[in-house]
Structure 1
């Protein structure tokens, strides 16, 4: 793929810094839920009014030092409709629309990096991220993270296999603000997430029409159109808005077809009831297809030294190609014509509403609902064993995944024609296809009463009814060249025992249709009753809350039977394939769990406060993890946490600092042994973890226009409560066992920080703000064994924003400008050491290489 080298080298020496404010909000009375003022993260202030307020032209921007970020009103985690950040006794970070863009996130999940302790792995593409939270031992997908829209969770569970909630959420100009909350009170309210929650708020209309339209070009072949308009609906008191995006991109790792293509549209309808409250209705439709990036080979020379594998650029190459793009999978229930271009995309519809009303006698009500339904499919390659020469793959019985054919008997041909040399490096990749049709309907109703001055009691009822209809085809090992944009390979051989020609692969290159091929339907209802009391006593703000939640879930999974799919014994690739046999196993899971939290905040002054908090939390089993496969109601235990935290906040004209420390103790964590193809085998094992750490976010303004910002966290997290060892199958197909007691939490760096200097240049015609972000990611490991080290790395990103005149804004941004080779994960289907062979080859996901984009935007 063209790298636009001359342009990129010129950009890599640019001076950079945090972006300035584009727009100042005109104040508009809105619901407390939407009242968002300026937050400290990522940039100078953009708005001083409501989250949905009109965006003023760039020249109206106030000085950034005038923002009082501890006066920011946050609603996530607050049961009473909003609390100043100065008084919030928990770890919460907010960002406005412009600050979201200034973070230059590669995906929705990648935005979470602005919150210290959040560790999103964005190397897999736009969707399907692994999201880690310091001290929460996830290790894959996002079991301890919830995406919310306007205060409502997008789905009844935070994650399923091949699904986490950022996969059905895209960032665009319809978003006004985001609040990212870790731990604390989120375990009690709404979806009851004990880990972290990102709550996104939409723009709405205003008395004065406002909006923007922007076009973005990226050097990876990106074209993107963004637009938004907010407006009054006559003199009726109703307001409307509409906006969205369309995007097409070849991707930094060009698969020879569009890596990302699609868009979304969002509309709102709102009504302000004056002092009483308001109503907001919203709808969104998303249709977006995204490449799910597969690990590629790199060479490991030590625990912290990696370099390119011969013939592979670790920054831009991928196995994907037109040659393997479209296949037929007979193992998919009912058969399927599958297309890699469909990727890990989403086609989803959302409809929701928020209603808030305050009565004169101290009573108030709040209700939030969200219905969404759609498909979140995955069509992608998944790694198996490491590459080997074709000679060894055909004939050497010691080659993992090899064919062990009679010497000299085979014929290997590229799909499309041409003999394959015996010294050609080849690899088998799983061509997996997963269809997920999901549906969720949630409602969160709260009734509050001010019992006496400063004391408010709230009772709430949360209900979420959600379903899942899945069809999976996992395994499907395809033999292909171990090259960028690989070509599938077919193999036949003459069996000396009977003289017959036998097909070792099918005509598409599939060598083995074994794996895990199921159909399943799940439905569940989560019902929670919670009670919270908030009491203001002088400079103290105290709260105590409890939640009782019940999950009632049923999963129906097809039973499997081995079959010869085509009835021909001479086609070896499908002679013993497990497929659905027409019968189903029904598993019913019912569990009730209590959760509570207590916090105390003391405001020393209007610029300084401190807090302490303790909470418990529980993570219910989901359809894929813990429920499916369980027999005789022998369900594994719930995952539970006890979290202790304390924090200190301070702000002056010179300095902002928000520091928190925590201890997190887990039990009931699950380990599922798998075979070399990632298929579950045996019963899950349970264990625990113990962690403590420190999160910090702050900035200093040495001069009026210069800002130096730091987002950092330190984590000391280890596994506990398991004195035996984890059984696993290593990369060479051998049975092994590894102790995990005391090992570092997988995929979580001990130290991570982002340092961002910025400077505002002000001219008569407008202003220019460059920024530079240096990110350091410390040592991290692949899995619980601690055997596969992924090392450390650092990246350099930049951006420049220019506000020209009254209506125009130009943004130039770039990521990984130094082309750093950093690994976020290795072959996740290989437990333990994933390096094999004399060449020390490791299949891993490196960061994408340098990426630069330019946007021109018109605002009114």
Structure 2
């Protein structure tokens, strides 16, 4: 793809959201069967008459007007104007997408309207140049947005929901975001930018594209940044960078294009844990005394470095500053070539080698006064010691008063080594005028090598930048150590080694046929996943052999035996679409999909006994859409109906350890997605991204067993309850106006976001309320080479929740209305100065 000239950048914002809202019919791995994908132009996405060559097997591509599905497409300037706080946060520009970004730069849960999930991103895939980042879309403590960063090397992104994605590439049922890299051009081009943020952030971005020889082009670019974070942990919250290089070759006679690329990421990010708030009623949340909900975090230098004897293989030193980090090395390629007589071939491949560290706090029980934690029976997580027997000191010295509010937090450390290789080869043939047949083969092999130390409850002060606390007590003349010298009260939990290897193989066929005003497509895919998993079995031991050190007397460790599972499943997927064009300004379309979601190493494979795997998650998706454009207005509205079977619920205890068997249930959803833009006068744009969802759980007449916030066994019905973590209504309204000046231009804009009622889990007992935020931005282009961007998020310091304590099912509100939850970060402002050539 060609890098745009700097002169075009001056007009980015005035067309930005309209372009984002236009349905640029693109799918990650789809390519033109006759020529390389052309450079995206800002005026292209603003017209339905633009010919697109992706997402269809029709010879020569189709006009957007004729595409039977909708997609959001952004170029590099539009990505910046969306002002995403992370890679996941960018997905908010697509109606029906709901990224929960309150956990920081990484680890965001990604919800797709009508696709029920509890955590992670099982129904979302990140693709680079048409290839998935990893063979499975999600694992525990991994989703694809965690290992992908946005920078100036990105040319465009296409975010697609449903549609033909169930057939191509990794066969994602839900949504995919495909990123295309910038390459060099005939004329050297590039940019250098410096960004400062009020949260102590400094960032440098750069890109350079250049010609190597006739038909050969190169590029290199990336970023480096460090930040204290809005929630300052007393060390760098985010620190690292990324470097990307490409080599592109255009074949003679416009036969096609080849792009080879390499990308290396080394980044460390704070994973933000829930903090205490006060809940009054369904939709009222306020600050907990002494804890700012907008800037507070438990993280501190005092709890930063620890020794975890629970880490498999003999223990390990761990550091919170390593965060939920990623070291990822990617090499890949994209090849498209047109043969004679209507034949064309393409091939996409990607290899990724990743080391993922997870060093983070995870919530357990609600806070309590130290006296209750020590002595009061029935206090969740309490010690129930003999009255007056205990000595409690801060680590580093000093007695802790009995009226000090304290809490136990899980100090978890997990390492993941992931490797993945995928290749997709396609052969297309124009059978006769108006009809193109495509046959494709997809192959992916990927591995996992994990070590988990999950649990590790540390006693600490319930305050920002917490201090750990040690406890000992005397009983019957004998001194017992209730915590170790670091403040760990319990090394119980889930401390495993886990290795997995899987291969996915798929064959698909797609046919597109134009008949008058109709454009029809029909595609089918058959895929097999063959996966093996080995997880160590655990036995409880007294680690140091001393019965007076109570914190490690029953520590689960790998005992030398393994649970082996072999998962071998084949399943088909289908999609059919039809588009009818009334005139040059209006069309209607319909689409039907069906498919299945394979089990992954951590969900469905691990924990299965005697090969009794849970049923496959299956979906049926039906969609109707209408597209219209005039000089003043653009509308793309679609309605959907989605049904699921085979959904799984795994009960856990208060430490997040799986207990008992899995429950199986289903869901049904109806909804509307809306993309709209209005241009009443020149330079004024009014844009709206919105969706409505009516989704509920089905096919489960009993109740889910769980342990409540007070440690009691309970059971809650789910039939008819709202889909968890998915707002019923979400809307993002963006007005902007471009002022033309003799020296350039300046465009201010605001973003108003409304998030409707949403709930924590399937029970619906923990309401998360609704909220609204205001963001702003100003972009100014000065002359031909300079650009200044000023942006701010959550300017009104709204306390908006995306989740509560995910280890507590049902109501998570304790005594006094205290709730552990993840609110949005407070006000954040940054300014960038960029030079372009």
The TM-score, its normalising length taken from structure 1, stands at 0.93
**Maintained 8 Å contact 1:54/1:209:** no
Structure 2: how far apart are the matches of 1:81 and 1:138? Answer: 38
Query: The residue matched to 1:749 in structure 2 has which SS?
Result: coil
Return the match for 2:133 from 127, 133, 154: 154
Name the counterpart of 1:639.
Answer: 617
Name the counterpart of 1:800.
Answer: 778
Query: The residue matched to 2:18 in structure 1 has which SS?
Result: coil
Matched, 1:571 2:549: yes
Structure 1: how far apart are the matches of 2:51 and 2:96? Answer: 21
Q: CA deviation at 1:88?
A: 1.8
Structure 1 portions without partners, runs of 5+? 1-19, 27-36, 56-60
Structure 1: how far apart are the matches of 2:552 and 2:77? Answer: 54
Alignment of 1:171-190 (within 5 A): 171-190=150-169
Matched, 1:382 2:362: yes
Alignment of 1:773-812 (within 5 A): 773-812=751-790
Q: CA deviation at 1:581?
A: 1.0
Matched, 1:420 2:397: no
User: What whole-Å deviation, never above 9, does each CA across 1:342-399 have from its counterpart, x for those lacking one?
Assistant: 1111000000001111112111101000000111221100000000000000001110
Matched, 1:370 2:354: no
Q: Structure 1's 593 and 526: CA in aligned 2 closer, same or farther, altered over 3 A?
A: same
Matched, 1:814 2:798: no
Matched, 1:616 2:594: yes
Matched, 1:91 2:91: no
Query: The residue matched to 2:280 in structure 1 has which SS?
Result: strand
Q: CA deviation at 1:753?
A: 0.2
Q: CA deviation at 1:24?
A: 2.1
Structure 1: how far apart are the matches of 2:462 and 2:45? Answer: 57
Q: CA deviation at 1:40?
A: 2.5
Query: The residue matched to 1:478 in structure 2 has which SS?
Result: strand
**Maintained 8 Å contact 1:52/1:203:** no
Structure 1: how far apart are the matches of 2:210 and 2:70? Answer: 35
Name the counterpart of 1:732.
Answer: 710
Alignment of 1:689-704 (within 5 A): 689-704=667-682
Q: CA deviation at 1:91?
A: 2.6
**Maintained 8 Å contact 1:730/1:830:** yes
Name the counterpart of 1:836.
Answer: 814
Structure 2: how far apart are the matches of 1:66 and 1:144? Answer: 27
Q: CA deviation at 1:606?
A: 2.6
Q: Structure 1's 284 and 66: CA in aligned 2 closer, same or farther, altered over 3 A?
A: closer
User: What whole-Å deviation, never above 9, does each CA across 1:789-826 have from its counterpart, x for those lacking one?
Assistant: 00000000000001001100000000000000000000
Name the counterpart of 1:549.
Answer: 527
Query: The residue matched to 1:185 in structure 2 has which SS?
Result: helix
Structure 2: how far apart are the matches of 1:756 and 1:67? Answer: 16
Structure 2 portions without partners, runs of 5+? 25-31
Structure 2: how far apart are the matches of 1:672 and 1:770? Answer: 48
Structure 2: how far apart are the matches of 1:620 and 1:166? Answer: 20
Q: Structure 1's 570 and 308: CA in aligned 2 closer, same or farther, altered over 3 A?
A: same
Structure 1: how far apart are the matches of 2:265 and 2:517? Answer: 46
**Maintained 8 Å contact 1:43/1:102:** no
Structure 2: how far apart are the matches of 1:344 and 1:187? Answer: 30
**Maintained 8 Å contact 1:38/1:45:** no
Q: Structure 1's 155 and 812: CA in aligned 2 closer, same or farther, altered over 3 A?
A: same
Query: The residue matched to 1:99 in structure 2 has which SS?
Result: helix
Query: The residue matched to 1:189 in structure 2 has which SS?
Result: coil
Alignment of 1:514-553 (within 5 A): 514-553=492-531
Alignment of 1:415-454 (within 5 A): 415-454=395-434
Structure 1: how far apart are the matches of 2:347 and 2:152? Answer: 26
Q: Structure 1's 79 and 747: CA in aligned 2 closer, same or farther, altered over 3 A?
A: farther
User: What whole-Å deviation, never above 9, does each CA across 1:658-683 have from its counterpart, x for those lacking one?
Assistant: 10100000000000001111110111
Name the counterpart of 2:299.
Answer: 320
Q: Structure 1's 526 and 271: CA in aligned 2 closer, same or farther, altered over 3 A?
A: same
User: What whole-Å deviation, never above 9, does each CA across 1:164-192 have from its counterpart, x for those lacking one?
Assistant: 00111000000010000101210111100
Name the counterpart of 1:14.
Answer: none
Structure 1: how far apart are the matches of 2:207 and 2:327? Answer: 21
Name the counterpart of 2:825.
Answer: 848
Q: Structure 1's 263 and 53: CA in aligned 2 closer, same or farther, altered over 3 A?
A: farther
**Maintained 8 Å contact 2:36/2:336:** no
Return the match for 2:565 from 587, 590, 594: 587
Q: Structure 1's 130 and 725: CA in aligned 2 closer, same or farther, altered over 3 A?
A: same
Structure 2: how far apart are the matches of 1:756 and 1:38? Answer: 11
Return the match for 2:727 from 734, 749, 754: 749
Query: The residue matched to 2:587 in structure 1 has which SS?
Result: strand
Matched, 1:349 2:326: no
Q: CA deviation at 1:742?
A: 0.3
Structure 2: how far apart are the matches of 1:584 and 1:65? Answer: 56
Structure 2: how far apart are the matches of 1:92 and 1:43? Answer: 8
Q: CA deviation at 1:608?
A: 1.6
Query: The residue matched to 2:427 in structure 1 has which SS?
Result: strand
Return the match for 2:181 from 173, 184, 202: 202
Return the match for 1:403 from 373, 383, 388: 383
Q: CA deviation at 1:71?
A: 1.8
Q: CA deviation at 1:84?
A: 3.3
Q: Structure 1's 796 and 25: CA in aligned 2 closer, same or farther, altered over 3 A?
A: closer
Deviates most, 213-222 or 609-618: 609-618
Q: Structure 1's 296 and 808: CA in aligned 2 closer, same or farther, altered over 3 A?
A: same
**Maintained 8 Å contact 2:17/2:687:** no
**Maintained 8 Å contact 1:39/1:93:** no
Matched, 1:687 2:665: yes
Return the match for 2:228 from 250, 253, 259: 250
Return the match for 1:331 from 310, 316, 333: 310
Q: Structure 1's 480 and 615: CA in aligned 2 closer, same or farther, altered over 3 A?
A: same
Structure 1: how far apart are the matches of 2:57 and 2:271? Answer: 36
Alignment of 1:706-721 (within 5 A): 706-721=684-699
Name the counterpart of 1:628.
Answer: 606
Name the counterpart of 1:119.
Answer: 98
Structure 1: how far apart are the matches of 2:257 and 2:237? Answer: 41
Q: Structure 1's 635 and 23: CA in aligned 2 closer, same or farther, altered over 3 A?
A: farther
Structure 1: how far apart are the matches of 2:17 and 2:169? Answer: 24
Name the counterpart of 2:274.
Answer: 295
Name the counterpart of 1:10.
Answer: none
**Maintained 8 Å contact 2:83/2:791:** yes
Query: The residue matched to 2:165 in structure 1 has which SS?
Result: helix
Q: Structure 1's 25 and 790: CA in aligned 2 closer, same or farther, altered over 3 A?
A: closer
Name the counterpart of 1:269.
Answer: 247
The TM-score, its normalising length taken from structure 2, stands at 0.95
User: What whole-Å deviation, never above 9, does each CA across 1:625-666 have from its counterpart, x for those lacking one?
Assistant: 010111111100111100000101111210011101000000
Q: CA deviation at 1:67?
A: 3.9
Matched, 1:467 2:427: no
Query: The residue matched to 2:464 in structure 1 has which SS?
Result: coil
Query: The residue matched to 2:135 in structure 1 has which SS?
Result: coil
Matched, 1:139 2:123: no
Q: Structure 1's 78 and 288: CA in aligned 2 closer, same or farther, altered over 3 A?
A: farther
User: What whole-Å deviation, never above 9, does each CA across 1:194-215 have from its counterpart, x for those lacking one?
Assistant: 0000000000011000000000
Name the counterpart of 2:27.
Answer: none
Structure 1: how far apart are the matches of 2:612 and 2:170? Answer: 26
User: What whole-Å deviation, never above 9, does each CA across 1:203-245 have from its counterpart, x for those lacking one?
Assistant: 00110000000000000000000000000003x3210000000
